[in-house]
Amino acid sequence: MLQLTGVTAGYGQFTALWDVSLRVEAGEAVAVVGPNGAGKTTLMRVISGLIAPRAGEIGFEGHAIGGRPAYEIVGRGIAHVPEGRRIFPALTVADNLKMGAFLPPARRRFAESLARVYALFPVLAERRTQRAGSLSGGEQQMLAVGRALMSGPRLILLDEPSMGLAPVMVLRLFDLIRRVRQEGYTILVVEQNVRQVLKLVDRAYLLEVGRVKMEGRADALADQDFVRKAYVGL
């Protein structure tokens, strides 16, 4: 479904990703883990088109999407839930969801998508007339995910969904992501919370200083001494 081949990317003089190759099959959940500054967020941004790759190719469902603008890539079926949630704080919850369905094809399926999102996240339905900025951190993250679902994506990029959440909320959120997965969405998730995320996904990539250091099945990776010491057994 998604295939990155030798992708190099960065900002200005700085290169954050070196020659990264990665694939995600339809129906899979894949995690990218690694320390701060490993280039995980850059990886998400280059896939969703917020930055253009300097080299390498990105293919999605048989189309080359590398270097296409973000507003075009979302229309192809990739929704990016950015780091820090980035909801529109002064808009209501309902208007945030409406913006998720900004593109005409998504707008036509609006009612159907909205019912689906409200079924997944009932709290969003309760709070639909509230300003999004007044929601709790966990609710904001649900809104960010719900907003992404409104575009009718097939692949969802989740960047640090548990960031800044209380431990109880983190567990609930992972449960919700599991349910999103069961709905048939393919997921590529970046997480600091390695122990939790490896329980959620099928495969994982370990990224260090912009390069893929290790990849494999999630359970196998979680068993690696090296990973256990460095990331899991905190």
| Min CB(128)–other proteins separation in Å | 14
Residue type, 72: E
The residue from 39, 53, 66, 82 that contacts other proteins (CB under 8 A) is 82
Q: Does 80 bind other proteins (CB under 8 A)?
A: yes
Residue type, 18: W
The residue from 23, 54, 68, 107 that contacts other proteins (CB under 8 A) is 107
The residue from 3, 50, 59, 67 that contacts other proteins (CB under 8 A) is 50
CB closer to other proteins, 151 vs 196: 151
CB closer to other proteins, 82 vs 204: 82
| Min CB(176)–other proteins separation in Å | 20
Closest CA to 83 of 172, 161, 142: 161
| Min CB(106)–other proteins separation in Å | 7
Site for other proteins in 7-36 (CB under 8 A): none
CA distance 4 to 15: 17
Q: Does 116 bind other proteins (CB under 8 A)?
A: no
The residue from 67, 75, 77, 216 that contacts other proteins (CB under 8 A) is 75
Give the residues lining the site for other proteins (CB under 8 A). 48, 50, 69-71, 74-75, 79-80, 82, 86-91, 95, 98-100, 102-103, 106-107, 147, 151
